Amino acid sequence: MQKSLSYLSSAIGRKQLMAITGLVWSGFVLTHMAANLLIPFSAELYNKYSHALITNPAIYLAEGLLVLTLLVHIANGVKLTLENRGARPQKYAMGTNGSKAPRFQSTWMIFHGSLLAVFLIWHLLTFKFGTDYQIVYDGVQMRDLHRLVIEIFAQPAYVIGYALCMVGVGLHLSHGFYSSFATLGFYHPRYSPMIQGLGYLYSFVVAAGFIIPPLYVLMTKAN
Amino acid sequence: MKLDAKTPSGPIAEKWSKHKFEMKLVNPANKRKHTVIVVGTGLAGASASATMAELGYNVVTLCMHESPRRAHSIAAQGGINAAKNYQNDGDSVHRLFYDTIKGGDFRARESNVHRLAEISPNIIDQCVAQGVPFAREYGGTLSNRSFGGAQVSRTFYARGQTGQQLLIGAYQAMMRQVDAGGVKLFTRREVMDIVLVDGVARGVLARNLVTGELESYAADAVILATGGYGNVFFHSTNAKMSNATAIWRAHRRGAAFANPCFTQIHPTCIPHSGDYQSKLTLMSESLRNDGRCWVPKTPGDQRPPEQIPDDERDYYLERVYPSFGNLAPRDVASRQAKFRVDEGRGVGPTKVAVYLDFRDAIKRLGEKIVSERYGNLFDMYEKITGDNPYKVPMRIYPAVHYTMGGLWVDYNLMSTIPGLHVLGEANFSDHGANRLGASALMQGLADGYFVIPYTIGHYLAGTPLPKVDTQHEAFRAARAEIQGGIDRLMALKGSRTVDDFHRALGTIMWDQVGMSRTDVGLKKAIQDIQKLRSEFYEDVRISGEKSYINPELEKAGRVADFLELGELMARDALERKESCGGHFREEYQTPDNEALRDDENFCHVAAWEYAGQPGRTNWNRHIEPLSFENVKLATRSYK
Amino acid sequence: MASANSKKINLKLKVWRQKTREDAGRFEEISAQEIPVDASFLEMMDIVNNRLIKEGRDPIAFDHDCREGICGSCSMVINGNPHGPERGTATCQLHMRKFHDAQEIVVEPFRATAFPVIKDLSVDRTAFDRIIAAGGYVSVNTGNAPDANALPVPKEKADDAFNSATCIGCGACVAACANSSAMLFVSAKVNHLAVLPQGEPERERRVLRMMQTMEDSGFGNCSNTGACSLACPKEISFENIARMNAEYMKASIKRRD
């Protein structure tokens, strides 16, 4: 049993776990972002979508999966980072620079990662466990999440904090997306640059997609 | 001193097979009772360590570097010869044998050279099996190129990094044995002495370069694979740490030194550019496949090279040697470059250089193919000089590159000290007075993979070897002597650095014992070296401490040995009153400046026996006559 | 002999000095005067050391040997970059024309748990030898080889293997990596041998054993920053790491013990 688990405790095995769990969340944030784009268009659609999501029994499975993958991602990330710090106890007086400096977001994963962890708790407290307004559409009673969203996004300070966190999401994804493919062993001199490009596009779209609705709300609903 | 080459009888092509059969064997169970020390981890040392451990011997391997992979074999660029005849261009074992004997200007032992040629195909097989990524054709077969001194394409290569790839192959094979326990590897150890018990080599004394401690290692046989002594010139293409200390200390203990004056000056190196310079960088000979050597026809022509029209250029190698052209052997090409510079037609800011031009090759093949073949060399050139060789011709000049001389060995690669075997560049055996390009790698690996594994068994099985350990009196005496030498150097506290002395020695050597030599110059060199040596022992300054890592102390020991070896080289050159291969005596040349050999009086190996006293050098010269039964002694011509 | 380019510059060096492994170490300011711009970085160090010796001071210890960029001995982190600012260059191939007069140059050893400093700029890189000993070879005894052309290897594969095999084992990848990971070094060897048919029989065992040794030696984990390839004097591609990841995954799944 121990031998069979050795892959999962190896340097590459744990990295691949990071990659897989990261990709699961990359998929999740994309759908989440897409749903958020309903906010400016229609309260009804948005609420109905939310209702459908949380009443589907599969949601427990999905939430379980997300929680599990997130915990694995965080625990592994922290452990790997601590190990990596231990691999160089004496720091350099100067870091790599000029043509030998790697892209900055790649060396700061633990920082924007930590930011995202804090954001996530804040985000869940604000929305998932926020005020439970109710509304009825077509005879079906459901949570009026849209009303809560509008209330929250009408606060300029909140939106600024939220937007900054979404920039963090973008940075984290811009390295994580491409990095995951490399970690899982995909590399091709012709296609990998495309994946990297796709990763940038993807992370920009996700970050922008999350920032647009609150900005829209702030500008239209704030008084 | 008796020099018995122990050459087997019989026709040349059958000597090695016959000898392999006649040699005594050590049975597998007994092999693990024998310990063999290998000093050095270049091609010869690493391949010998790996192969002997595979056979079951206990191998103790010492290297002065922090890792065995740093050995200077790694820097060989061009390639490795083998008589595979894959190109169907008429190559054969006999032709490789013939080319090597002729290339060596008839000063090598026929039997050894033939064995080398016979083994050469096996080396390629072995290296490919190890995963050495040689250059290949699209069809998947191995690719070959031609090299100086040969009219067939028999050189296997891995871009410009053949030495690196072969060394890494041997290093890996050895590390596999380290993992398996067959090889005990000790890095950062410099061998300071060979320990003899009852006249037989039974161990070494090494300095741990980190802790400064002197350590004793006992064994049943000792193998030196420590490379050449080109660094005696200070400026050479050798690595900075390459040294002669192990072979020199062995020489002082009784190993004869053969043909010390046979030095190869490589024609294509980046020229010297200033006093700060610490070494010269080789540009592979393979460049001469497509590059053309020229100088302006008019002495003192100041125009930049691209403005000199073709009819005002002297493509001197093509002019003087129409059949070999730019692929004339190294000694010949070097001397021609020197003649051009001496005529005042040198180029570049120092005027001590000639052009190696790729303009026509780029026109013919395109920049892409030229870059595929030589890209890394061009990059290397550009980094050092700041010039782009795709645009302007390279400036090159000869530099000391390889030493054909070395410890005298018999057919079994054993020196005149029983039990002390010498492999690779450290011995003298295969290249005569001049080595052909791409033959050094071949010799190192032949000795290590395919010769010593057989002959060491023959020695061990046929020699009574009473048990000796490091507590033996001989180890204690050697240790006291070496420690005394170190203490003496450290106590001097003079005013000049080790490098100062080394540079001064190098200047004497290059001026008088370099590309061309004269009776007067050599006599002067001997006096100058003796004077420099006594100054060294009065005025050298070594800072740091002896009980921890101290590169200055390391250098001092090596330079002290070079100061004796340099003198021996000059003496050997003085006594060899002929010109042959890399040894060019101005008194002995043909009217058109070609080397004039004297087969009547000098068709022999000169083996020098050390007969000095403390504080006074002295040698006895012995000879091993060379007989040529399979190749007719002829004037070497590349015209 | 006349010098090709007589221009000289003066520099302010801030060099890491550490007497022994155990010593804490510190930076020392040393001036480098009258340095010819055509000199290499190591030749500049020689000039400085010769002065220090004449002044009765301890010269700066650093590893070096071939001085033509192939032996992998020279190390040093120069102004933050392993082997200095130029891509595809080892310290010995870095020339002083890349620096300007009065420039301050910070010179540090390669720093990693797995590469302890022995003295000044000289570090112990034997961990690399242990990694190779764990599997970086083809197990073929001398004498066992078939004819070299018996097994054709497509040129593309031979070139691919060669590109990985050009690694000089200097450790710049580890020095540059934010995590002191040796993944580029390990993967270069793994791929060199995995691409070739000769390396096929030990493919899985090799990657598993070499990675295990890397982990046990105190190197960190890869986070795909690519700093290793940027610092590599032979510009070994980051692709090697990705390919080894796949290699490792396959080997882990297929292993039977």
Task: Return the pLDDT at B638.
Answer: 79
Q: For chain C, how long is the longest CA-to-CA vector? A: 68
* Closest to B593 in 3D by CA, of B266, B335, B294: B335
**What average pLDDT does the structure give for chain B?**
95
What is the Cβ-side half-sphere exposure of residue B44, based on CA atoms within 13 angstroms? Answer: 27
Q: Please determine, for residue C1, whether its predicted confidence score (pLDDT) is greater than 60.
A: no
Distance of residue A123 Cα from the nearest chain C Cα, in angstroms: 28
What are the structure tokens assigned to B499, written together?
Answer: 């490098």
CATH number of A2-85+108-221: 1.20.1300.10
What are the structure tokens assigned to A103, written together?
Answer: 């892209």
The answer on C137 and C23 residing in a single domain is no
Helix, strand, coil percentages in chain C from 3-state DSSP, rounded to 5: 40, 15, 45
Q: A98 and C81: CB-CB below 8 Å?
A: yes
Query: Which of C87, C118, C149 lies at the terminal end of a domain, its last residue?
Result: C118
Chain B CB contacts of C124 below 8 Å: 66
Distance of residue C59 Cα from the nearest chain A Cα, in angstroms: 22
Instruction: Determine A/B contact with 3+ CB pairs under 8 A as the test.
Output: no
Chain C CB contacts of B66 below 8 Å: 63, 73, 122, 124-126
- The CA-CA-CA angle for residues B280, B283, B288, to 5°, reads 140
First to last CA, chain C: 67
Q: Where are the alpha helices (DSSP H) in B196-244?
A: none
The answer on C47 and C30 residing in a single domain is yes
Within 10 Å of residue C103's Cβ, how many Cβ atoms?
15
Contact B322, B639 (CB under 8 A): yes
Task: Return the pLDDT at B631.
Answer: 95
The answer on C95 and C37 residing in a single domain is yes
Within 10 Å of residue B577's Cβ, how many Cβ atoms?
13
**With b meaning 16 or more CB within 10 Å and e meaning fewer, what string describes B135-161?**
bbeeebebbbbbbbbbebbbbbbbbbb
The answer on C90 and C162 residing in a single domain is no
Contact B327, B149 (CB under 8 A): yes
Does C217 reside within a domain? Answer: yes
Q: How many domains does chain C have?
A: 2
Contact C240, C188 (CB under 8 A): yes
Contact B529, B478 (CB under 8 A): no
The A residues from 81 to 120 touching C (CB cutoff 8 Å) are 83-84, 86-103, 106-107, 109
Q: What CA dihedral angle connects B398, B401, B405 and B409, to 10 degrees?
A: -150
In three-state secondary structure terms, B104 is coil
C67 burial type by CB count under 10 A (0-12 exposed, 13-18 middle, 19+ buried) = buried
For residue C207, what is the nearest residue in chain A, using CA coordinates? A12
Going by the DSSP 8-state scheme, the letter that residue B517 receives in this structure is B
**C4 — pLDDT class (breaks 50, 70, 90):** very low
Q: Write the CB contacts of A46 (distance below 8 Å, at least 6 apart in sequence).
A: A35, A38, A39, A145, A146, A149
What are the structure tokens assigned to A70, written together?
Answer: 């997130």
Task: Return the pLDDT at B352.
Answer: 92
The answer on C105 and C131 residing in a single domain is no
Helix, strand, coil percentages in chain A from 3-state DSSP, rounded to 5: 75, 5, 20
By DSSP bridging, strand B221-224 and strand B35-39 are parallel
* Residue-by-residue pLDDT tens, chain A, 223 positions: 456 668 999 999 999 999 999 999 999 999 999 999 999 999 999 999 999 999 999 999 999 999 999 999 999 999 999 999 999 999 999 999 999 999 888 888 999 999 999 999 999 999 999 999 999 999 999 999 999 999 999 999 999 999 999 999 999 999 999 999 999 999 888 998 999 999 999 999 999 999 999 999 999 975 5
Distance of residue A103 Cα from the nearest chain C Cα, in angstroms: 7
For residue A181, what is the nearest residue in chain C, using CA coordinates? C242
What are the structure tokens assigned to B51, written together?
Answer: 């192969």
The A residues from 26 to 85 touching C (CB cutoff 8 Å) are 80, 83-84
The answer on C174 and C155 residing in a single domain is yes
Does C184 reside within a domain? Answer: yes
For residue C154, what is the nearest residue in chain B, using CA coordinates? B140
Residue ranges for chain B with pLDDT beneath 50? none
Q: What is the CA radius of gyration of chain A?
A: 20
Task: Return the pLDDT at B330.
Answer: 86
The answer on C159 and C111 residing in a single domain is no
DSSP per residue over B25-57, as a string?
---HHHHTT-EEEEE--SHHHHHHHHHHHHHT-
- The CA-CA-CA angle for residues B442, B443, B448, to 5°, reads 105
The answer on C176 and C109 residing in a single domain is no
CA–CA separation, B463 and B219 (whole Å): 13
The answer on C240 and C190 residing in a single domain is yes
First to last CA, chain B: 41
The answer on C152 and C110 residing in a single domain is no
What are the structure tokens assigned to A49, written together?
Answer: 């979508």
Q: Residue C132's domain is classified under what CATH number?
A: 1.10.1060.10
Q: C165 and B74: CB-CB below 8 Å?
A: no
Q: Write the CB contacts of A211 (distance below 8 Å, at least 6 apart in sequence).
A: A162, A163, A166
Active site residue B330: yes
Within 10 Å of residue A38's Cβ, how many Cβ atoms?
18
Contact C64, C44 (CB under 8 A): no
The answer on C132 and C109 residing in a single domain is no
Which residue of the set B145, B159, B288, B330 is catalytic?
B330
Q: A11 and C226: CB-CB below 8 Å?
A: no
Does C3 reside within a domain? Answer: no
Does C2 reside within a domain? Answer: no
Domains, chain B, ordered by start: 267-399 (3.90.700.10)
Name the residue ranges covered by the structural domains of chain A. Answer: 2-85+108-221
Task: Specify the residue for token string 């002191």.
Answer: C180
DSSP per residue over B594-611, as a string?
-B---HHHH-EEEEEEE-
Determine the structural domain holding residue C62 and report its residue range: 8-118
Q: C252 and A13: CB-CB below 8 Å?
A: yes
Q: Please determine, for residue C2, whether its predicted confidence score (pLDDT) is greater than 80.
A: no
Does C85 reside within a domain? Answer: yes
CA–CA separation, B590 and B598 (whole Å): 12
Task: Return the pLDDT at A3.
Answer: 60
Q: What H or E segment, with its residue span, contains residue C209? A: helix C203-216
Q: Residue C66's domain is classified under what CATH number?
A: 3.10.20.30
Chain B CB contacts of C118 below 8 Å: 210, 549
Does C1 reside within a domain? Answer: no
Contact C151, C198 (CB under 8 A): yes
The answer on C110 and C60 residing in a single domain is yes
CA–CA separation, B259 and B228 (whole Å): 13
Query: Which of C118, C144, C173 lies at the terminal end of a domain, its last residue?
Result: C118
Alpha-carbon torsion A171, A174, A177, A179, what sign?
Answer: negative
**C5 — pLDDT class (breaks 50, 70, 90):** low
Instruction: Name all chains with 3 or more CB-CB pairs below 8 Å to chain A.
Output: C
CA–CA separation, B273 and C4 (whole Å): 5
